Structure 1
């Protein structure tokens, strides 16, 4: 369930060409379709199935940033939306770094305040050592009190994300649930449920303790506030080497194992090429690093892994104003997520002293990396 239909949607729809049936999940349309070699090739190479492909022949997924409604057996587009249309290179002409930091920080606070004020559900924030959840927390603390928030963190005790979430919550008096996944049993039932929820498009063992998270969210009648898309907007997908050759960069950065070993080559004697990638993006207006990351990586790995139909979400970074602000920035402000980092330092200085995964994920106690940024 999506909490705001004015935002770009991560909803996915499926179409079985053999039966002419549409559905909101792969299971709804599956009809003993055999495995697709093309889909399997991509899955073994990337760890997910990108584009319109699925793991099954003649079943396609429709998942671009469009708001759609399934009426009977017809899928109707209500509001067409493409990120390319929001990019405006003239938007930030003549603005200094300081001006951009102020403008971006004020805009983010405005987005968070609007979302918080318009929702009746309790805020549940997955809090890690990453920048996106840190920034969302800063925005929330700017518009409400800590007592109105609940945070949760899953992981192994002693690990960076796990301990950082606990430490931040304790400092500000935020109710926090620490979910020790040492105690989370991987059962056949849970694997089958995850396969259904993720539409068989990502590895089963990539899943998270959803049962525990869902119980917390449901008990609070809450919404899960997540930082999806924050990395792409702020430039996490933009090493300099990928800008000039985005297709090769996408294949390299998304490969499941590494550039030496290819499961698809080893098991199928075949692997995806730039030519195959070009076929997947034939209908894209542009094939730059941003569109590849949003429409392929986010929609076909991140969304199936994290965005499930039986949870309620708030996704601040999918606000069209934030998409336009960040994607219209000159490259130097997005490299190494520089501007987003500066916004956090300026807008939420009280959060800067807590460790961040930008420090390489070292544990507490390492004397040489104790600050948020290096």
Structure 2
């Protein structure tokens, strides 16, 4: 779509994944996602009016005021502006090809425009993805292709200048107050965010992927408290799994319709070998992280079951991070936050943790921190920096890509826990109330919204009796000899069969059983497969 002669740029957007295209006078707009406080035409009418000597600051202020999850590209005869939201929920990519700025929703479309000689892989990105599942900064696996980070926008004007600016950061502005104060504000903010969303979705069916955890349960019980009625819940996995049993019990108590999407190792294994899955992998590949595949079959089956255009998925992505539950405690540790960050997020494979690789990661993390914390010393990083790096890394590059399974199945979605108001609130909460999700978990059980927060709704035994007995025998047998051996053997033997959704079956059991590299979880194998596939394309 290049109908209007424009400043030196090319925009390549795949309209199949929820993107829309508008024109107004001499301006073009590509936009995806949702906005609470603006209509798409507001952007195409207002942003071009901001182009003057102070363009960058004016556009920064305008984008800072947008409320929702989105990505957009606006092009006029003299300017190009493109932006992602506060968590990069919808990715945008860019490259300079033959002195032409190319912007796209799909990095493979950019790759097709590049000369073969320019398609070199980025060694640092390969190392980062191998160790964590995602790349750091704006890098992708290809040197010539970049990806906007969460909270960024880019602008190019008629002078050929191109710059990337940050308009939002998940930084702390801690407020003073006691537990009761933050409890009150937490409840008020949560219900306000849910009320804004439900008002925006009047006439739609709110569909909640309901698990046994806090996040999806808070959405369901919070909407019940607000007397929202157009709710449908579904849970996927084995019939006797904790997720399914607790999910069913919560939905029944709240009076919501509940659907079980049965999944197993057998059905998932068959699915991972299908043409559908192969197409999904290729379509949602960001070149920046391994594809998020946890719920793609469940969403496919749900869509086939209902196929209702009024359904809107509302998931709990990602309340446990926002509330502080991922912040490690330094008690009893002889490590600082940086060491703990690498242990948590860059240890997919034990054999990749060495001084050379660790230094590569540390240097890249420092670059990322320096965007908002100039001159920061990584050795003295605090919990604010820890959460900042996870927000800008794992959350916005990998976890948020679960939304692609909805896009791929033509389902609308909302993410209330990545609302800017919600992020602002949690950025104001002192560390003592955030550690271990203390405020979050405690308030939910004290208030008992919807009556689903008592002990009877806690995790139920998911079975696996044979495995539990076998594990106990092995534990007792090895206890007197080698505790570390027991831990490794226990993981190699049972990790595969303890997955109640069958999501581990993209790779065969013997890979887990005989692994000697030290895998951490299923993403370890996903990252290894991803890198192997990309390297094979160069041969």
Could you tell me how far apart the structure 2 residues matched to 1:139 and 1:198 are?
A: 34
- Structure 2: stretches of 5+ with no match in the other structure: 1-31, 36-65, 70-84, 466-539
1:266-322 CA distances to partner (integer Å, 9 max, x unpaired)? xxx856431232234332337701211111111111122334544422111122222
Shift of 1:205: 7.5
Aligned position for 1:60: 146
Of 352, 355, 373, which residue of structure 1 is paired with 2:453? Answer: 352
Aligned position for 1:234: 323
Aligned position for 1:369: none
Q: Pairwise mapping of residues 163-312 of structure 1 onto structure 2 (< 5 A)? A: 163-182=245-264, 183-184=267-268, 185-186=271-272, 187-204=274-291, 206-208=293-295, 209=297, 210-215=299-304, 218-241=307-330, 245-257=336-348, 260-262=350-352, 270=357, 272-285=360-373, 288-307=385-404, 309=407, 310-312=410-412
Q: Pairwise mapping of residues 65-76 of structure 1 onto structure 2 (< 5 A)? A: 65-66=151-152
Shift of 1:218: 4.9
Aligned position for 1:139: 222
Cα 1:68–1:347 shift into 2, 3 Å: farther
- 8 Å contact 1:22–1:74 — kept in the other structure? no
- 8 Å contact 1:228–1:315 — kept in the other structure? yes
Between 302-311 and 221-230, report the one with greater CA deviation. Answer: 302-311
Q: Pairwise mapping of residues 119-158 of structure 1 onto structure 2 (< 5 A)? A: 119-120=201-202, 121-146=204-229, 148-158=230-240
- 8 Å contact 1:217–1:224 — kept in the other structure? no
Between 119-128 and 13-22, report the one with greater CA deviation. Answer: 13-22
Aligned position for 1:27: 108
Which of the two has higher C-alpha Rg?
2
Could you tell me how far apart the structure 1 residues matched to 2:291 and 2:192 are?
A: 37
Aligned position for 1:2: 33
Task: Normalising by structure 1, report the TM-score.
Answer: 0.82
Cα 1:76–1:38 shift into 2, 3 Å: closer
Aligned position for 2:18: none
Cα 1:335–1:79 shift into 2, 3 Å: closer
Aligned position for 1:17: 96
Could you tell me how far apart the structure 1 residues matched to 2:155 and 2:239 are?
A: 43
Cα 1:82–1:195 shift into 2, 3 Å: same
Partner-residue secondary structure (3-state), 1:179 = strand
- 8 Å contact 1:14–1:22 — kept in the other structure? yes
Task: Normalising by structure 2, report the TM-score.
Answer: 0.58
- 8 Å contact 2:309–2:411 — kept in the other structure? no
Query: Paired residues, what number?
Result: 352
Aligned position for 1:363: 462
Shift of 1:100: 1.9
- 8 Å contact 1:51–1:281 — kept in the other structure? no
- 8 Å contact 1:164–1:354 — kept in the other structure? no
Aligned position for 2:520: none
Shift of 1:341: 1.0
- 8 Å contact 1:194–1:207 — kept in the other structure? no
1:198-257 CA distances to partner (integer Å, 9 max, x unpaired)? 424444574422322444675152221122231222112211139983333222111353
Shift of 1:337: 0.5
Cα 1:218–1:155 shift into 2, 3 Å: same
Cα 1:335–1:77 shift into 2, 3 Å: same
Aligned position for 1:370: none
Partner-residue secondary structure (3-state), 1:11 = coil
- 8 Å contact 2:327–2:386 — kept in the other structure? yes
**What is the Cα-based RMSD across aligned positions, in Å?**
3.4
- Structure 1: stretches of 5+ with no match in the other structure: 367-374
- 8 Å contact 1:223–1:312 — kept in the other structure? yes
- 8 Å contact 1:317–1:323 — kept in the other structure? yes
